[in-house]
Amino acid sequence: MNGELKYPKAVFLIICMEFCERFSFHGMRIILSLYLKNKLDYTDDTATTIYHAFMVLGYFFPLFGAILADSILGKFKTILYLSVFYAAGQILLAVGAVPTFGLPVRELSMIGLFLIAMGTGGIKPCVSALGGDQFVLPEQENYFRTFFPIFYFTICIGALCSAFLTPELRNGVKCFGEQECYSIAFFVPALLMILTIVIFVSGGPFYRIKKPTRPIVLDVTKCIWHAIQRKSEATQEVKQKHWLDYANDKYDPKFISDIKKTGRTLKLFTAFPFFWALSSQVGSRWTFQATRMDGQIGSYLLKADQIQAADPIFAIILVPALSTFIYPVLEKIKCIHTPLQKLTAGGILGSIAFFVAAIVELQLETTYPVLPTTGSAQLRIFNPRDCQLPIIIGNESILMEPFAVWGGHNMNVIGNQSIPYVADFSFCGGDEKKGFITAFEGQATSYVLEATSPYAYQDYINKTKSGNPAIRMLTNNLRSPNTSTKVELSGVNYVFESSSYRERVTSVAEFLPGKYNVIVNGKDVGSISIKLGGVYTLQTFIGANTTKINLSEVTPPNSVHILWILPQYIILTLGEVMFSTTGYEFAFTQAPSTMKSLVQAVWLLTIAGGNLIVVIMTEVGLFKRQALEFSFFAGSTIIVFLIFAVMTRSYVYQNYSDDEILGDEDKKIPLTQGTSEVQNCNQDNLEL
């Protein structure tokens, strides 16, 4: 038969379209949490809430997309119209990130995200379903079976390419005078979404278009509501065995029976949001965790959001490994061989991944800066001269080397505390000087011991929100004390400038990690190297015949390497592949043919529910430490899936006929619901 009917040409356009759309979506999503935090200046918790609220909408709108496609517009028009909103949202996001436009960035970003969620969610149930419609069954059954593996592989490649490219654009391109270029990083996904529409429309003459069919989700809702109404009005004499049977005056008994069977299956879905609550945090909490780690691998810097590429990479490896090697072995030894057992194992693996993430977080906590709080203060003393400086602070004698820094530890202080000091400037051509330095409660104070006029300033010691290193400049110009000093870093459009003798401390500025030449008043005087998470003070000393620089660490850079995050990714991706692919198989085979759209809608709603759990937990704010929050998610999920395992022991698998599973009454055209669900198993439930 395959010799008579050629492979549908329109399928190749749909696959190309899907690559562009997935690149567009994941390219935007991968950098989204850092954009909310670093560019829009939201806190970690608020950025997490917005990110997951966006994902909730993205997995809620498929319900409306399916209704539009099934009963009003059809798949082609639904995809086309919603893709226009989708592209508009991407463009708004990119335009809002351009600082020179002076637009209300937060407002534009929120509108853009809403349009993107509506677009990507609305087309989810339609794209691969349209691809499935291009095959004539059973004549092209062999061709049909190759479509979804190719479709899934295309999704993985699109996600993988965007995971590497957009963080590079964000971090490696400078634009509009900023160190990080979110506008270009968002513009490329917007361009890919426009290309998606062009490719899709160009295939118009080649598509096999099916007319809208029965809106099953609405029909089920109406049937349930009708049954509830009749039951509330029924007398004791008119009593049905099951509450749904009260709808038998209006609805077919088989339709009611199918709803009952589906309801028994959907009870098990109540556990599923807890797994999605874990896997969805890859793009938020795990990305923020990566910003506090060292991403340097040789000469290459792996960005915090780039580590998300591990998800599609491991998925590409694990999907064939599971089907070819692992599942057959488990089948032989009768261990984790049923769909519900695989679902349980996937949920527990997700929990283990979060326990591992908590362990990594505990290690990271030892590297966080200790900030002064109520009842404590920090003091630092800088020697800004190119000479030794003996000092006595309180009862402690110290010999400070040239450009050295003393202090930096928390000390118990209520209110403020003055500490006497004696500094011997004889090595610097001066005299002994006495005075006091004052520690202020809840503050880090730095003192610069000049022979003529010592001065102090409130120091910045916390790591930056972006994770990038930060520098402030400290100038000591003995050659021309009343003139300004300009200091530049090579390749960076930023100038530190001390305008006068009295203003020798600049504000803190963020830079990308790496090595920079330092140019002082137009002269290259040496190089410095700054690392992720570090906070530095760059001292510049201009003497009579020499200019020197010294870089001092105020806050040490990140020391836990980012590759330590890979074990949790491997475990979570293994659980994700087991859970999502098996979950699709279970939902598809255990649903009557008339109920497959409903089960598909509920399956996607469980993903929305998982993101909603994260939003609620973040807003409640039970935990101040990230390690405790990770442990809570892990512990609660493992308890849920142990209960799930007990619930499944009494479950009786449904064995529907092949005709029912295919949902293909005329044996010529595949049913929309079936193809839609395969797509969402591979595309969305793996969150690739």
Residue 680, pLDDT > 80, answer no
Q: Does domain 9-213+252-367+560-683 have CATH number 1.20.1250.20?
A: yes
Contact 573, 318 (CB under 8 A): yes
400-425: pLDDT as tens digits: 999 999 988 899 999 999 999 999 99
Which pair of structure tokens corresponds to residue 405?
Answer: 């820094």
Amino acid letter for position 140: Q
For 521-554, the three-class secondary structure string (H helix, E strand, C coil) is: CCEEEEEEEECCCCEEEEEEEECCCCEEEEEEEE
Residue 283 buriedness (CB in 10 A; 0-12 / 13-18 / 19+): buried
Q: What pTM was computed for the model?
A: 0.87
Q: Which range among 60-74, 154-168, 344-358, 408-422 shows the weakest confidence by mean pLDDT? A: 60-74
Contact 570, 581 (CB under 8 A): no
Domain 466-557: CATH superfamily, name plus number: Carboxypeptidase-like, regulatory domain (2.60.40.1120)
Beta-carbon count within 10 A of 545 CB: 6
276-318: pLDDT as tens digits: 999 999 999 999 999 999 999 988 999 999 999 999 899 889 8
| Amino acid 238: pLDDT | 67
Q: Which range among 12-21, 248-257, 466-475, 676-685 shows the weakest confidence by mean pLDDT? A: 676-685
Query: How far is residue 333's CA from residue 127's CA, in Å, rounded to a whole number?
Result: 39
Radius of gyration over alpha carbons of the chain, in Å?
31
Contact 284, 51 (CB under 8 A): yes
Helix axes 339-365, 566-589, angle to 10 degrees: 160
| Mean pLDDT across the chain | 87
| Amino acid 675: pLDDT | 34
651-676: pLDDT as tens digits: 888 776 544 544 443 333 333 333 33
| Amino acid 424: pLDDT | 92
| Amino acid 92: pLDDT | 96
Q: What average pLDDT does the segment 220-231 reach?
A: 90
Q: Which range among 347-351, 584-588, 610-614 shows the weakest confidence by mean pLDDT? A: 584-588
Residue 506 buriedness (CB in 10 A; 0-12 / 13-18 / 19+): buried
Answer with the residue of higher pLDDT: 593 or 668: 593
For residue 455, the surrounding DSSP H or E stretch is: strand 455-458
Peptide bond into 390 cis (omega under 30): no
Residue 1, pLDDT > 60, answer no
Domain locations in the chain as residue ranges: 9-213+252-367+560-683, 368-459, 466-557
Contact 62, 121 (CB under 8 A): yes
Answer with the residue of higher pLDDT: 545 or 182: 182
CA 44 to chain centre: 12
| Amino acid 526: pLDDT | 92
| Amino acid 292: pLDDT | 94
CA-angle at 221, arms to 217 and 226, nearest 5°: 150
The H-assigned helical ranges of 234-338 are 253-266, 272-279, 285-291, 310-321, 327-332
| Amino acid 217: pLDDT | 78
Answer with the residue of higher pLDDT: 668 or 163: 163
Query: How far is residue 204's CA from residue 10's CA, in Å, rounded to a whole number?
Result: 9
| Amino acid 661: pLDDT | 47
Q: What average pLDDT does the segment 565-588 reach?
A: 89
| Amino acid 2: pLDDT | 45
43-87: pLDDT as tens digits: 999 999 999 999 999 999 988 888 888 778 888 999 999 999 999
Q: How many angstroms separate the Cα of 436 from the Cα of each of 27, 82, 134, 394, 418?
A: 55, 68, 83, 9, 6
Query: How far is residue 226's CA from residue 232's CA, in Å, rounded to a whole number?
Result: 10
Strands (E), 383-443: 389-393, 396-400, 405-412, 416-424, 432-440
Say what the alpha-carbon torsion angle 348, 350, 356, 359 is, to the nearest 10 degrees.
-90
Q: Do 9-213+252-367+560-683 and 368-459 agree at the fold level?
A: no
| Amino acid 319: pLDDT | 84
493-528: pLDDT as tens digits: 788 988 765 568 899 999 989 999 999 998 999 999
453-482: pLDDT as tens digits: 788 999 999 999 888 999 999 988 887 777
DSSP annotation string for 62-114 = HHHHHHIIIIIS-HHHHHHHHHHHHHHHHHHHHHHT-GGG---HHHHHHHHHH
Residue 17, CA atoms < 13 Å, CB-side half-sphere: 25
* CB neighbour list of residue 620: distance below 8 Å, 6 or more residues apart: none
Residue 534, pLDDT > 70, answer yes
Q: How many angstroms separate the Cα of 301 from the Cα of each of 22, 252, 264, 402?
A: 25, 63, 51, 33
Residue 156, pLDDT > 90, answer no
Query: How far is residue 325's CA from residue 319's CA, in Å, rounded to a whole number?
Result: 10
Q: What average pLDDT does the segment 218-238 reach?
A: 83
Q: What average pLDDT does the segment 531-538 reach?
A: 95
CATH number belonging to the domain at 368-459, selected among 3.30.70, 2.60.40, 3.90.550, 1.10.357? 2.60.40
Query: How far is residue 490's CA from residue 171's CA, in Å, rounded to a whole number?
Result: 17
| Amino acid 142: pLDDT | 81
Q: What average pLDDT does the segment 356-377 reach?
A: 94
| Amino acid 482: pLDDT | 74
* CB neighbour list of residue 180: distance below 8 Å, 6 or more residues apart: 38, 39, 170, 171, 466, 512
Closest alpha carbon to 477 in 548, 384, 542, 387: 542
Which pair of structure tokens corresponds to residue 185?
Answer: 């990083």
Which pair of structure tokens corresponds to residue 83?
Answer: 């893709």
| Amino acid 237: pLDDT | 57
